[in-house]
Structure 1
Amino acid sequence: MSPDDPEPPDDESRRRRRPGDQEPESIQPSRPETAGDYDDGPDTAEFLPPEIPESELAGLRIPSRGAPVGPRTVVPLEEEPSSLVSRYLFPTEKFRGEWRKHWIHLVKEFLIGAIATFVIGWATGFTAKHDQKVIVSFLLIVWVAVMVYVSWRIADWYFDRFILTNKRIMVVNGMVTRTVGMMPLTRVTDMKYQQSALGRMLNYGTFVVESAGQDQALRRVPTLPNPNELYLRIVEEMYEPEAVEARLAQVPDDPGPDA
C-alpha cells in the first residue's frame, strides 16, 4: 500500500457505526447573507449581485436632460423672443428670457378704476333723480377719462419687458414713447433683490443692480416675478455660461412607441 492511499477505517469506527446508518454529510461552508441565489455547478458557484429596491434607486437616477436631481427646479427658457424684443437683439446674441412686471404693479390702477366706478356711478344715479342732465354728462366724461387712463397704464405694463441675454440685461419701457436701457453683464459689479413681506407671499421682488460706471441705465427694476429664479439665471449667466450652454444643449430622449 502506497503512502498516498487513504487509510482504511479502524475497528473502533466500524464498531460505532451500525448497519443501516447513513453516511455523515459533509459540512458546507457558510454563504454570505448578501450573496443571493447561487447556481451550483460541479466546481464553482456563480455570485449574483444583491437586489436593490426601486425606492432606493429613484434618488440616484439622473433625468433624461442630463442635469442631476437637486433642490432647484429650473424653469424652461423661452425658445424665441417676442416680436417686441427681437428687434433689439443682434444676430450673434443668445436670448435667455423676457419677463413682464408682476401684476402687483397695477394695483394702484385697479383701485383707481374701481373707486371711480363706484363713486361716479353713485353720483350719476343721484343727479339723474334730480334731472341734472348736464352734471350726469360731465360725470360720464370723467368716468371715461379715468377708464382711458387705467387702460393706458395696463397697456404700458404689457409692453414693459425685462430681458436677459448672454451679453447683457435690458429694460424696454413705453408703448408710444419707447425707452430701451441696457447694461453689459461684464460691467455688473453687484446685484441683489429685495422682497417685502407681501412680495414673499406673492413671489415678486425689486432688483438693484450696481455697475462699474457712474451713469447707470437701469439700477432699480421693481416688481419682477420669480426673483429667486431670475437672480440665479443672471448669476449663472455671469459666472457659469458653459453650464447654461450644456444644459440647453441637452435634448430629451425620444419616447418609445410604447411610451
Structure 2
Amino acid sequence: MLAPREIDEYLLPTERRVIRVRQHWAFMSKPLLQTALFLLGCVLVERFAQTNSTTADFLIDNVTFYLALVAVLRFTVLTILWWIERIVITDKRVMLAQGIIVHKVGMMPLGKVTDLTFERSLGGRMLGYGTLIVESAGQIQALNRIDYMPRPEEIYEALSELVFGEKGKTRATGMLARPRWRR
C-alpha cells in the first residue's frame, strides 16, 4: 500500500511539498450507506424468506451470507483506496496519487493553471469539505475537478499564492495590491 511518505519519492529535488491531503471522510458516506442498505436488505430477505423446505432455506442462507460478504469486502476495498489516495500540491505542480495494485500518479504543472475556483455545498460547509476546480490553458486535465477537498479555503489560498504570486501582491510590481486586513 502507498504510505504518505512514499508520495514524496515523486517529488523533484528542486521541488517543495506545500500540501498533502486525502479526500474528506464524507467521501465515504455514499459507499457506507450503500453497504448498510444492502446488508439490511440481506437481513430482511433472510428473515422473511423462510420457506417450508430446508433445502430452499439452506440456499437462501448461503446466498445472503455470500452476498453480504461481498458487500463488506467491496466496502473494505473502497475504504483502502480512499485511504491510499493522496492529493499533493508542491511549489511546481498538483499531483493525485491513487491505486493499490496499479499505482497511478496524475500531475498538472502550476504554470498551466489559468483559473482556480472552489465550491461548497451546504453539506460541505457543515462538514468542512468542498470542490476545487483547476482550469488549465484550454485543455481538460485529469485534475481539473477535485471533489471532497478538506479545508478548501486554505488550500485555495495556498494554491492561489503559488499560481498567481504572493498573497496580496501584484505580479508586475511585487507591491501590495490592497492593504491587508487582520481577522
**TM-score bin (small chain):** 0.7 to 0.9
Q: Give the partner amino acid of 1:157.
A: W
The answer to whether the 8 Å contact 1:128/1:136 transfers is no
Shift of residue 129 of structure 1?
Answer: 7.4
Choose from 99, 108, 111 the match for 2:21: 99
- How many angstroms apart in 1 are the aligned matches of 2:76 and 2:63? 20
- How many angstroms apart in 2 are the aligned matches of 1:213 and 1:173? 25
Does structure 1 residue 116 correspond to structure 2 residue 41?
Answer: no
- 1:147 is matched with 72
Q: Which runs of 5+ in 2 are unaligned?
A: 170-183
More helix by share: 2
Does structure 1 residue 82 correspond to structure 2 residue 28?
Answer: no
The answer to whether the 8 Å contact 1:98/1:161 transfers is yes
- How many angstroms apart in 2 are the aligned matches of 1:87 and 1:171? 13
Question: TM-score, normalising length from structure 1?
Answer: 0.58
Alignment RMSD (CA, Å): 2.1
Write out per-residue CA displacement over residues 147-197 of structure 1, whole angstroms, 9 at most, x where no aligned residue: 111111111111111101111111112222222111111111101001111
Does structure 1 residue 207 correspond to structure 2 residue 157?
Answer: no
- How many angstroms apart in 2 are the aligned matches of 1:180 and 1:137? 41
The answer to whether the 8 Å contact 1:171/1:180 transfers is yes
Choose from 157, 163, 166 the match for 1:240: 166
More strand by share: 2
Q: Give the partner amino acid of 1:240.
A: E
Secondary structure at the aligned position of 1:120 is classed as helix
Q: Higher relative CO (CA 8 A, sep ≥ 6), structure 1 or 2?
A: 2
Q: Which runs of 5+ in 1 are unaligned?
A: 1-80, 244-259
- 1:170 is matched with 95
- 1:253 is matched with none
Secondary structure at the aligned position of 1:164 is classed as strand
- 1:182 is matched with 107
- How many angstroms apart in 2 are the aligned matches of 1:163 and 1:177? 19
Shift of residue 95 of structure 1?
Answer: 1.1
The answer to whether the 8 Å contact 1:127/1:136 transfers is no
Q: Give the partner amino acid of 1:208.
A: I
- 1:37 is matched with none
- How many angstroms apart in 2 are the aligned matches of 1:209 and 1:108? 25
Q: Matched residue pairs, number?
A: 162
Shift of residue 83 of structure 1?
Answer: 2.4
Question: TM-score, normalising length from structure 2?
Answer: 0.80
Write out per-residue CA displacement over residues 90-146 of structure 1, whole angstroms, 9 at most, x where no aligned residue: 222111121110111111111112112222123223446754111100110111111
Secondary structure at the aligned position of 1:91 is classed as coil
